[in-house]
Amino acid sequence: MPADLPEALEPELATLVDKPLPGDWIYEIKFDGYRMLARIGGPKDVRIITRRGNDWTERFTALKKELAAASAAGLVRRRDRHAR
């Protein structure tokens, strides 16, 4: 059974370093832009949230539409509380 979606989302924040840590790590280079999360409860329940918790859904209406369509098509999957 799917778990309930949390009301608040907390994205992982980037850490500024001079070079990647040694080892077999996967990392990303931070470019200027936005760091946001999408909360998708279904085709009619899509929110786009900034890293500070601001709801910017209406600023990204095209992205909201695409996420809703992906959810309706079954391309977005909810995980249960055990991340399955």
Number of H helices, E strands in the chain: 1, 2
Is beta strand 36-42 parallel, antiparallel or unpaired with respect to 45-50?
Answer: antiparallel
Catalytic residue (choose from 19, 30, 64, 65): 30
Any catalytic annotation for residue 64? Answer: no
CA angle 68–7–41, rounded 5-degree value = 25
Residues tagged active-site: 30
